[in-house]
Amino acid sequence: MKRIRNFIQKMPLFSSVLFSLFLGFWGALFALLAGLLEGVSSPTEWLAYSLEGLLAIPLVSFLLGAFVVYPLVLTAVNLVLLFAPAKYPPLRRAAKGFEVVTLVLGSLYSVLIQALLEICWLDDWQETLYNSQVHTPIYTQAWPTVLTFLLAGLAGYLALSFIRLEKLPPLAAVLAISAMYLGTAEMIAFAVQVFSTQYLILCLFPFNCVLITAKTIRYKIWEWNRLSEAQKRTWRNPLLNALNQRLKNALCWPFAAFLLMGPLFGILVGILLLFGQQPDTWIRAFTETSDWNLSQRTAPQNVYYDEHYLCTVAAGGHPKLVKPLRMGERHGHRVVVNRQLCIANAFEQILEERTPRLHRRIRHLYDTCGFPLARKIRSRRAADAVYLLMKPLEWFFLAVLYLCDAKPENRIAVQYLPRAAVETAQKGSFAAAQSGRTSRT
């Protein structure tokens, strides 16, 4: 136990990584055992599942440890260090290392998680999205303002953490704390914006930023109050030096930094005005959105396209290329319909009517090969590529329709219409035919 404790004290960051991977291994092993106890009936199946599970344990252990356990471990460490005694230099050095790792990995993990959750950061509320996609939680035109305040907070943290207090006058330290307040306030606003059961994981990084801000301020106050008067730096300017004298007691720094937030906010907004940003852009960054807690806009309903079908996916490409005709209905969902999709569905209808046995074989082949490919199409450019690749097949389908159907364009036109609309159209055509016969007689 003593050796383990010494190892943790000497290499706290590496120890936290090993601990996370260790927990990830046990999580993977538990998942394997749970799978063996449920749903495995025969000994042969049990052996096959065991071998597959054992081979997958290293990868699953790493994924669980690195992407699930380690963020929680970092959060726990930051929370403990916030209340730990600040008088031990190794503890302060370890805290700084954990802070840097949290900021770097937290940023990377947040981007990865948001991509997996299908959050479209470049699409504002007025854009039409597809399936389960969600509009951006931050107004795209407000990104310069958002990034400016985040960079101000990061600059304040770097100045307060990596510049020795002997070289940092109290007024400069208070200004750095004010900048950290602004960046932290933006992170809190983002957490409020996305806070929900589905997106709770996105609040973990802002929560760590709050912990880092509080911990950094606490440690710096402790360090300043232990410096001698000769070590404390002052300003040569009489006005700045007078302000420094009022800030000699570091316990008043948090309150003074709060008062200084207003002037600093005004300076940053004034600079942003020169670059075309509005004074209220900081607020509009969260209100000019939809689908989120602070949103004040209502987005158009998402369009559904069945990810199992190549032509349906292709219809979701760029409008100038795929040329959408109208909205249709498929399996109870609204879908974008273009001519290629209608022709493909009309061809399948003809095939099912004339040669049902061949249709079943082709459908089975497509279900086997086409489904996995269609599910990987996640962008409009990929949908455009599928649309172009399907063009020769579209011409072949159209030729078959014109050879086998007396009114091919009528069949094409009614594809993906609601059933009620199709029945009305059929009744209308039947009534027109009957009136034509009556007039001829």
75 and 14 assigned to the same domain: yes
374 assigned to some structural domain: yes
The predicted-structure confidence for 325-361, as pLDDT tens digits, reads as follows 887 777 666 777 888 888 888 888 888 888 888 878 8
Residue 304 CB coordination number (10 Å): 19
Quote the Cα angle for 351-356-358, to 5°.
75
Q: Which helix (H) or strand (E) holds 134?
A: strand 134-135
- pLDDT of 322 reads 78
Q: Is the distance from CB of 315 to CB of 337 less than 8 angstroms?
A: yes
Read off the pLDDT band of 435 (50, 70, 90): very low
Q: Which residue has the higher pLDDT, 53 or 226?
A: 226
Do 61 and 171 belong together in one domain?
no
Q: What is the largest CA-CA distance in the chain?
A: 117
What is the mean pLDDT of the segment spanning 19-27? 84
- pLDDT greater than 60 at residue 433: no
The listed range with the strongest mean pLDDT (83-92, 110-119, 220-229, 323-332) is 110-119
Q: Which of 84, 105, 140 is the last residue of a domain?
A: 84
How many C-beta atoms surround the C-beta of residue 148 within 10 A? Answer: 21
**Rg of the chain's alpha carbons, rounded to an integer?**
32
Residue 278: left if φ>0, alpha if ψ -120 to 50, beta else—which one?
beta
Average pLDDT over residues 123-142: 85
Together in a domain, 363 and 277? no
Q: Give 368-419 as a DSSP string.
A: HHHHHHHHT--SHHHHHHHHHHTHHHHHHHHHHHHHH-SSHHHHHHTTT--H
pLDDT at 102: 94
Please state, in angstroms and rounded to a whole number, the distance separating the CA atoms of residues 335 and 337. Answer: 6
**50-71: per-residue pLDDT in tens?**
666 666 778 878 888 888 899 9
Q: How confident is the model at residue 431 (pLDDT cuts 50, 70, 90)?
A: very low
Residue 250's pLDDT is 77
Is residue 48 one of the residues assigned to a domain? yes
Cβ-count burial 322-336 (b if 16+ within 10 Å, e if not): bebbeebebeeeebb
Tell me the C-alpha distance between 118 and 168, whole Å. Answer: 44
Mean pLDDT of the residues in the chain: 79
Higher-confidence residue: 67 or 301?
Answer: 67
Going by pLDDT thresholds of 50, 70 and 90, the confidence category of residue 42 is low
Task: Work out the pLDDT band at 78, boundaries 50, 70, 90.
Answer: very high
- Judge whether 217 lies within some domain: yes
Q: What one-character DSSP code corresponds to residue 130? A: B
- Decide: residue 367, CB within 10 A, 0-12 exposed, 13-18 middle, 19+ buried: exposed
52 and 173 both lie in a single domain: no
Q: Among residues 61, 84, 107, which one ends one of the domains? A: 84
Q: Quote the DSSP letter at residue 301.
A: P
For 20, the domain range is: 1-84
Tokens of 308: 């199992």
Q: Is the residue at 109 inside a domain?
A: no
Q: Which two tokens stand for residue 252?
A: 């008043």
Q: How far apart are CA 125 and CA 131, in angstroms?
A: 15
pLDDT of the residue at 194? 93
Reply yes or no on whether the pLDDT at 370 is more than 90: no
- Alpha carbon distance 190, 114 (integer Å): 13
Please tell me the distance from the alpha carbon of residue 353 to that of residue 249, in angstroms, as a whole number. 88
Determine the average pLDDT of the residues in 418-435.
50
Q: Is residue 192 part of a domain?
A: yes
Q: What is the pLDDT of residue 19?
A: 85
Instruction: Judge whether 103 lies within some domain.
Output: no
CA–CA separation, 257 and 388 (whole Å):
59
Tens digits of residue pLDDT in 232-289: 555 566 666 666 667 777 788 889 899 999 999 999 999 999 988 988 999 999 999 9
Amino acid of residue 342: C
Say if CB 61 and CB 21 are below 8 A apart. yes
> C-alpha distances in angstroms, 362 versus 331, 343, 357, 370?
21, 17, 9, 11
**Best CA proximity match to 294, nearest among 304, 284, 302, 281:** 284
C-alpha closest to that of 391 among 323, 335, 332, 292: 323
Same domain, 296 and 321: no
Domain boundary among 302, 331, 362: 302
Same domain, 285 and 351: no
Note whether 274 and 334 are same-domain residues. Answer: no
Give pLDDT, residue 5.
Answer: 58
What pLDDT shows up at residue 332?
66
Q: Are residues 288 and 333 in the same domain?
A: no
* Pick from 7-16, 254-263, 302-311: least confident: 302-311
Give me the number of domains the chain comprises: 3
Residues 293 and 315 in one domain: no
Pick the most confident of 81-95, 298-312, 323-337. Answer: 81-95
Mean pLDDT for 116-138 is 83
Mean pLDDT for the stretch of residues 410-424: 71
| pLDDT tens-digit series, residues 158-179 | 999 888 877 888 888 899 999 9
Contacts of residue 215, Cβ cutoff 8 Å, sequence gap at least 6:
78, 81, 82, 95, 99
Statement to judge: residues 280 and 318 lie in one domain: no
The model's pTM: 0.71
Query: Closest by alpha carbon to 218, among 84, 320, 314, 318?
Result: 84
- Alpha carbon separation from 93 to 169, 224, 409 (Å, rounded): 22, 16, 75
In a domain, 108, yes or no: no
Report yes or no on 138 lying in a domain. yes
Query: Quick check: helix, strand or coil at residue 440?
Result: helix
Residue 319 has pLDDT above 80, yes or no: no
- Is there a single domain that holds both residue 76 and residue 193? no
Q: Band of the pLDDT at 382, cuts 50, 70, 90?
A: confident
pLDDT of residue 439: 37
Q: Is 119 helix (H, G, I), strand (E, B) or coil?
A: strand
Residues 327, 225 within the same domain: no
Give the mean pLDDT of 412-417.
Answer: 84
